[in-house]
Amino acid sequence: MSNKIMVNPRNAYGEALIELGKKYKNLVVLDADLSKSTKTIMFAKKYPKRFLEMGIAEANMITAAAGLASCGKIPFVSTFAVFATGRVYDQIRMDIAYSKANVKIFATHGGISVGKDGVSHQMIEDIALMRVLPNMTVIAPSDAIQTGKIVHLMAEKNGPMYARVGRANAPLIYGKNDLNDIELGKGMTVETGSDISIIAYGTMVEPALEARKILSKENIKARVIDMHTIKPLDEKLVLKCAKETNAIITAEEHSVIGGLGAAVAEILAEKNISTKFLRMGIKDIFCESGEPVDLLEKYELNTKHMVKNAKKLLKN
Amino acid sequence: MKVHDTKKIYKLDLIAVKIRKHIIEMLYKSKSGHPGGSLSAVDALVALYFVHMKHNPKKPCEPNRDRFILSKGHAAPALYAVLAECGYFNVKELTKLRTMNSMLQGHPVCTYVPGVEASTGSLGHGLSFANGVAIAGKLDNKEYNVYAMLGDGETGEGQIWEAAAVASHYKLDNLTALIDRNFLQIDGNTEDVLRLESVRDRWNAFGWNVIEINGHDIKQILDSLNKANAHKRQPSIIILNTTKGKGVSFMENNVDFHGVPPNEMERNLAIEELNLAQKKLEALL
């Protein structure tokens, strides 16, 4: 890990907002007293008039964003993932998803690796909550470079969108020019392999790449997919993985219920595809306070457990 | 008040009667919906759409239009009837309320109905939506005003008070809320279900300019809307003291007609009463 360049995706979000603020005069940013954490403060400093501090009043913030969108604005709305989804579900449902409002919810502090704040601030249900809403695009970028690209794509394309990143610094996976062809709704094959596919998003892509290295030493060839868009899901790519490799593992910092693992399972079942399959995620429990690295170990969401699971799955 | 002003008001009262007749017919036909809160909201809607607001039914998306948001979305029949009578869509559509394949859903949907600004029905959202519209107007230096009608029971929702705080903080003087203060909600009197008084003091405390009037007196409504627009550096709220079920004697102040439509006999009686009111007004013109 030591030789990897660590960059915080939140900073990439802040920087992208500044670029987009220049490009789109109708772009506005809303935050609920967390601008220093979500990094919308970077936009606030550059474009103070277009930054709307909405206070600790998330429900109002979400619906107000829909009102702004109805007047032609492109609102980016940010807070922690737990407050950006569960707390304001009804507002997102009625005012954004059902109303097809051009609102971009960009949440930070997704998953359990938020760490010591505990369950009140960890969010492992957001992808499920957003995925079930018609009209909603659901995204989770994996590193800072991808985050920047995706924030641009979100602004360019009309419609309701939800994106989440974690809190922690994340190792860079991509170079500046690796993502020129990136598209929402199209998964990326980061590394090829023919024995097993690890389909992951967000904070789980990099551990999957590490797992691939370890597995290759044991002559297991793992393919790593960065499924940055969970909805609409790249079904073709999932089916391709099922066809070309002997097993599929999904990995996400999210409940095993309702997220990427569930989405992949639904496709495999409906297409009558029988393959070895395992969902890695939080196993329908609430977690606890702790160092991110310790949490990910206890709740079995790291490279070590990916390697273990891959070997076990292939052996069965 | 001058004679021609009086006649102008009578004409508006006449439109209000017509809207009330639409409401009764729509609810009777669909066999569902909310008569009480639709009837209490009519006069304010008529004042807004037929006089006060700057809007063009032929251009419902015109960027400089005034906006109205029906936060108490269950009064949809009143809004639909007003929009149809203004010319946003054919009056014949009204008979399709709450039926399959109709754009007139049980609660208003902005993506379906021309003139509907926000999809409401889940209480507590409308004032927040209006905040967004008002902030956008300020950012773009637009002249438009935004109006949001709240139910009195609806202000039990916490989101209303988030919105109240934010509107005041941002000094949204292009925003006027109207509260349909009919004192009734499904489970009974608002003061028994969840006390709201003093409504005036609450909004005052949140930094709003509060105006209180008879919510069925169109002259008073128009005057108060002008006052609200003229008031600067604060959002305004007009407390419309109203009667739930207004205009149909047996529905007035009768909580049983919150969400129950009239049966055939009730519909006939109601239309009879409204026809009588119509004749009285016509005689004055």
* Domain boundary pick from A126, A144, A171: A171
Task: Give the active site residue among A15, A53, A58, A300.
Answer: A58
- Which segments of B90-244 does DSSP mark as H helices, in order? 126-139, 158-169, 190-193, 199-205, 218-230
Domain B6-283 annotated CATH 3.40.50.970:
yes
Mean pLDDT along residues B236-246:
98
Q: pLDDT value at position A316?
A: 80
Residue A75 counted as domain residue? yes
CA atoms within 13 A on the CB side of B164: 24
- In this predicted model, what pLDDT tens digit does every residue of A246-259 receive, in sequence order? 999 999 999 999 99
Other Cβ atoms less than 10 A from the Cβ of B235: the count is 31
B128 touches chain A (CB under 8 A): yes
* Local confidence band at A3 (pLDDT 50, 70, 90 cut-offs): confident
Domain boundaries, chain B: 6-283
Closest residue by Cα to residue B134 from B103, B159, B169, B106: B169
**Residues A68, B117: C-beta atoms closer than 8 Å:** no
Q: pLDDT value at position A115?
A: 82
In this structure, are residues A202 and A165 in contact, taking their beta carbons and an 8 Å threshold? yes
**Residues B129, A67: C-beta atoms closer than 8 Å:** yes
List Cβ neighbours of A140 (8 Å cut-off, separation of 6 or more). A110, A127, A163, A164, A165, A201, A202, A228, A230, A252
> Nearest-CA distance from B133 to chain A in Å?
5
Is residue B219 classed as helix, strand or coil in its secondary structure?
helix
Is residue A112 classed as helix, strand or coil in its secondary structure?
coil
Judgement on whether residues A157 and A277 belong to the same structural domain of the protein: no
Q: Is the ipTM of this complex over 0.90?
A: yes
Please state, in angstroms and rounded to a whole number, the distance separating the CA atoms of residues B29 and B193: 31
**Residues A91, B165: C-beta atoms closer than 8 Å:** no
Please state, in angstroms and rounded to a whole number, the distance separating the CA atoms of residues B9 and B206: 33
Is residue A278 classed as helix, strand or coil in its secondary structure?
strand
Judgement on whether residues A221 and A165 belong to the same structural domain of the protein: no
- In this predicted model, what pLDDT tens digit does every residue of A19-53 receive, in sequence order? 999 999 999 999 999 999 999 999 999 999 999 99
Judgement on whether residues A131 and A204 belong to the same structural domain of the protein: no
Q: pLDDT value at position A1?
A: 46
- Residues from A contacting B (CB-CB < 8 Å) are 28, 49-50, 52, 54-55, 57, 59-73, 75, 90-91, 93-95, 98-100
**Residues B133, A70: C-beta atoms closer than 8 Å:** yes
Q: Is B245 left (phi over 0), alpha (psi -120 to 50) or beta?
A: left
Mean pLDDT along residues B192-196:
97
Q: How many CB pairs below 8 Å do chains A and B form together? A: 101
Q: Among this protein's residues, is A58 annotated catalytic?
A: yes
- In this predicted model, what pLDDT tens digit does every residue of A139-169 receive, in sequence order? 999 999 999 999 999 999 999 999 999 999 9
Q: Is residue A264's pLDDT more than 70? A: yes
- In this predicted model, what pLDDT tens digit does every residue of B264-277 receive, in sequence order? 999 999 999 999 99
- In this predicted model, what pLDDT tens digit does every residue of A297-310 receive, in sequence order? 999 999 999 999 99
Residue A177 counted as domain residue? no
The shortest CB-CB distance from A70 to any of B117, B122, B163 is to B117
**How much of chain A exceeds pLDDT 70, in percent?**
99
Judgement on whether residues A164 and A210 belong to the same structural domain of the protein: no
B108 touches chain A (CB under 8 A): no
* Domain boundary pick from A171, A199, A223: A171
CATH code: domain of residue A298: 3.40.50.920
- In this predicted model, what pLDDT tens digit does every residue of B38-73 receive, in sequence order? 999 999 999 999 999 999 999 999 999 999 999 999
Judgement on whether residues A94 and A47 belong to the same structural domain of the protein: yes
In this structure, are residues A308 and A302 in contact, taking their beta carbons and an 8 Å threshold? no
Judgement on whether residues A44 and A150 belong to the same structural domain of the protein: yes
The one-letter code for the residue type at B259 is: G
Judgement on whether residues A157 and A246 belong to the same structural domain of the protein: no
Residues of A in contact with B109 (CB under 8 A): 98-99
Q: Is residue A2's pLDDT more than 60? A: no
Judgement on whether residues A150 and A258 belong to the same structural domain of the protein: no
- In this predicted model, what pLDDT tens digit does every residue of B106-151 receive, in sequence order? 999 999 999 999 999 999 999 999 999 999 999 999 999 999 999 9
Structural domain tally of chain A? 2
Mean pLDDT along residues B244-264:
96
Other Cβ atoms less than 10 A from the Cβ of B200: the count is 15
Q: pLDDT value at position B2?
A: 66
In this structure, are residues A97 and A85 in contact, taking their beta carbons and an 8 Å threshold? no
Residue A210 counted as domain residue? yes
Structure tokens at B150: 């709240």
B120 touches chain A (CB under 8 A): yes
* Strand pairing report for A137-139 and A229-231: antiparallel
Q: Which domain holds residue A277?
A: 188-315
Please state, in angstroms and rounded to a whole number, the distance separating the CA atoms of residues B64 and B31: 38
Secondary structure element (H or E) that encloses residue B75, with its range: none
Judgement on whether residues A219 and A109 belong to the same structural domain of the protein: no
Structure tokens at A181: 């062809």
Please state, in angstroms and rounded to a whole number, the distance separating the CA atoms of residues A93 and B76: 19
User: Taking CA atoms, what residue in A is nearest to B121?
Assistant: A94
- In this predicted model, what pLDDT tens digit does every residue of A72-97 receive, in sequence order? 999 999 999 999 999 999 999 999 99
Summary mean pLDDT of chain B: 97
For residue A33, give Cα distances in angstroms to A74, A183, B85: 20, 32, 45
